[in-house]
Amino acid sequence: MLYFSIKKGITIFIGRKVNFIDLFAGAGGLSEGFIRAGYEPIAHVEIDEAACFSLKTRSAYHYLKQNNQFDTYLQYLRGEINRQELYSKLPKDILSSVIHKAIGEENNAAIFGAIDANLPVNKEVDLIVGGPPCQAYSLVGRARSEHGMRKDPRNFLYVQYANYLERYNPKMFVFENVLGLKSAGKGAYLANMERLFNKKGYKINIFTVKAENFGVLQQRRRLIIIGWKDDFVPNLPDLDNFRSGITGHVSDLLVDLPFLQAGQGIDKFSHYAENNVSDYLRNTHIRNGVEELTQHIARPHNEQDKEIYRVAIQKWEDARERLNYNDLEDRLKTHNNRKSFTDRFKVVASDLEASQTVVAHIAKDGHYYIHPDIEQNRSISVREAARLQSFPDDFYFEGVKEGANRTAAFKQIGNAVPPLMGEMIARELFTLFD
């Protein structure tokens, strides 16, 4: 198998593929990165039904591409075949590798059975990746919760993660979560987590990473916990100080997309506005030769919001200053809370090297993600949000029902691990599985 490191510019040949299980998989951002680095997925476990359809559709992408049937996937992006017809082209084991169940005591036996059925006889699991939902640990989630998320059952999903480590005994695991995990419960959750992982036979190293250091044009801070069996000593990469060498500006993500105004856009499919593909888009796999542009859809806005958007954009263009909600005219202020979240209207500034963090709240409104072009005067589209998260343009986000589902797509994108960051981490760990 061929392994190519973007960072070091070298090629390494390895005799077998490293396999992995993705827990709390979401739409598969972390999986996408590991697959691009040459790893082989055994199973994806996810509670959200829409995200499971996205995982199946992406599994179709990889399977059809590897088996010289890629035009079938392009037919799907063009809307020439439906989702059921796409899935009919896949072996049953590909579809069954996506397990739509909540990880927990009530479902673990069934999930174990489904994973085991996809695991070849006498083959071991090399790696487990994924991270439990982060709302219970996030600073914003705690601020909005009456009890500071102390009673949220998601606080203890790491216990379930440990059960899967015990069951499958992988050589290593990669656990991703928010920075707030460090301070949640005054540090007790993280300390208990480390003790539990140690009890299961794993030592861990905790890294604080910046997505922009991996080439993602977004200010995203996350914890990456690397765990390994205590019977070997890995030469771990220094993820805290990692630099991919891939850089750009937010404008690189926007320049080739068609002009849209609020409420406009086509799900399947539209054409690019520009034929020139920037080095950034090419180097990060966002543009990779597929010309079928999907999900460049903008949500509608009322006239008041669009007026506020113009104020925010003009303020940035004139003085590179962010809009403070309290500076708006009184007639434009409809929120009673004037003390917190005063930056609730924020432009995705095209001249910056990284945007603000894309989070799942984008599914509720787009005020924090205003497109920088005052003529378009809207929040960013599904495709633009996906690009900020480094998803390739041929990655299609599904809803529960087939067809355009902007809200479901935004939620999946906001909750995802940027595939580019996942890929870089995967490549750095690859040789540890020799």
User: Tokens 């480390």 correspond to what residue?
Assistant: 194
Query: Catalytic one among 55, 134, 358, 429?
Result: 134
In this prediction, residue 122 carries a pLDDT of 81
CATH hierarchy code of domain 2-244+417-433? 3.40.50.150
In this prediction, residue 409 carries a pLDDT of 98
The tokens describing 232, both together, are 């070997």
In this prediction, residue 420 carries a pLDDT of 98
User: Tokens 């796409």 correspond to what residue?
Assistant: 86
Exposure class string for 367-396: b at 16+ Cβ within 10 A, else e: bbbbbbebebbbbbbbbbbbbbbbbbbbbb
In this prediction, residue 15 carries a pLDDT of 55
User: Tokens 């994108």 correspond to what residue?
Assistant: 413
Question: Is 52 a catalytic site residue?
Answer: no
pLDDT (tens place) for every residue of the chain, 434 residues total: 344 444 434 334 445 689 999 999 999 999 999 999 999 999 999 999 999 999 999 999 999 999 999 999 999 999 999 999 999 999 999 999 999 999 999 999 999 999 999 998 888 999 999 999 855 554 444 334 444 444 545 568 999 999 999 999 999 999 999 999 998 888 998 999 999 999 999 999 999 999 999 999 999 999 999 999 999 889 999 999 999 999 999 999 999 999 999 999 999 999 999 777 889 999 999 999 999 999 999 999 999 999 999 999 999 999 999 999 999 999 999 888 888 889 999 999 999 999 999 999 999 999 999 999 999 999 999 999 999 999 999 999 999 999 879 999 999 999 999 999 999 999 999 999 97
In this prediction, residue 7 carries a pLDDT of 41
In this prediction, residue 137 carries a pLDDT of 55
In this prediction, residue 17 carries a pLDDT of 85
The tokens describing 340, both together, are 């917190």
Task: Tell me the domain boundaries of the chain.
Answer: 2-244+417-433
Pair 168, 130: CB distance under 8 Å:
no
In this prediction, residue 258 carries a pLDDT of 95
Q: Is 370 helix (H, G, I), strand (E, B) or coil?
A: strand
The neighbouring-strand residues paired with 45 are: 23, 99
Pair 96, 114: CB distance under 8 Å:
yes
The tokens describing 327, both together, are 């500076």
